[in-house]
Amino acid sequence: MANVVVIGAQWGDEGKGKITDLLSRSADVVVRYQGGVNAGHTIVVDDKVLKLHLIPSGILYPETICLIGSGTVVDPKVMLGELDMLAENGIDIGGLRLASTAHVTMPYHRMLDLAMEQRRGDRRIGTTGRGIGPTYADKSERNGIRVIDLLDQDRLRDRLLGPLGEKNLLLERIYGLEPLDPEMVIEEYAAYGRRLAPHVVDCTRTIHQAARERKNILFEGAQGTLLDLDHGTYPYVTSSNPVSGGACIGAGVGPTLIDRVIGVAKAYTTRVGEGPFPTELEGSLNDHLCDRGHEFGTTTGRRRRCGWFDGVIGRYAVQVNGLDCLAITKLDVLDELDAIEVCVAYELDGERIDYFPSSAEDFARCRPIFESLPGWQCSTADCRRLEDLPPTAMAYLRFLAELMEVPIAIVSLGANRDQTIVVEDPIHGPKRALLSV
């Protein structure tokens, strides 16, 4: 039996959806523990592309329970749209569970998110505009609406009228926007509640019952380590805790329930939105990685910024999350390159450093120190075993494993499920096994 956390080891968009889909085969319960519709992952099944934002990819397995935990923030309109899309594609959605205590993204959250970001001007953060930050802010101010409130229209009215009055004042007087009609909002969200009601559960009781029954539980994080509210490149971060410790808070479990943590990292690095990015590339190399890797956000469609693999933030992610092993994705994107750079340290104000600075200003001044490795200049897309990989591709993976001081358990070589090399079972194998390649 193993309870596993899967996290992003970079700035998100590492391919966690595919890895979670792979690991869900061995999971009885998959728990999404933080974030909202600002996250997105794309799953390719039998050449069918499925784009999800809230619902865990484990929903593709009919025997798996998929729980959206208390630490998430839920846009019910988007969630119902995903459920409808899955049902239209013949996927059984009966296994979906939604925490009654998850907070709800309301229409004023989306309006305020966009208005605040516009007002920031040159200091904009690069949010998705989906209302995630304002939803978490209301949660912290104890002024939020929870899923359980949608299930009773009178309770929803009682909970909503005060906060909505305050938000309307902000929308009108500060941002010059039209106020929202309280009754229209109540009717709309009560209707969402009626549709969601069959899926609503007590999150903590559901998880702990599964644990008592010795079920395999997979905790799925959204975004990535460097977007963590406390441990990322603040203020260019998300509004929750994607790191592995966030699983305990967002799902309502103690750390002793977690058996291991798997990090997901691309064979290079990408970032969406604003903020420092030391290994960022420009010109033809950036375009090459972006085009070959289809680096466009699932949620926003924005073109991702691309750069070489950054071992400094990689080691930081290993430490912050307590990673047991790594899944390296999109190795095939590097197939055509004759040389590949890897950042092994930074230069900051003339001094070589091998750690991630806590100051955003210092991080912005960091210059990458690279080591160059030879490329393999042949396709890896059809490789299914380690021995199928070109020797220089194997050498690249060994270099990453040694640099990050953590073994590699999975190598992904494309979007399809079968384009994967499993070095050793990352869930049931011995803890801290010699998985390095």
Catalytic residues: 13, 41
Place of tokens 């590949």: 340
Residue 59 to residue 32: CA distance in whole angstroms: 12
User: 411 forms bridges with which residues in the sheet?
Assistant: 328, 421
Residue 260 to residue 103: CA distance in whole angstroms: 28
Inter-residue contact 368 to 395 (CB < 8 Å): no
Structure tokens at 183: 């009754």
Structure tokens at 289: 């990685």
Residue 34 to residue 81: CA distance in whole angstroms: 20
Amino acid at 292: R
Amino acid at 97: R
Inter-residue contact 437 to 394 (CB < 8 Å): yes
**Which among 10, 1, 24 has a CA at the least distance from the CA of 417?**
24
Inter-residue contact 107 to 134 (CB < 8 Å): no
User: 179 forms bridges with which residues in the sheet?
Assistant: none
Inter-residue contact 203 to 101 (CB < 8 Å): yes
Structure tokens at 271: 């970032």
Taking the CB of residue 152, how many other CB atoms lie within 10 A of it?
13
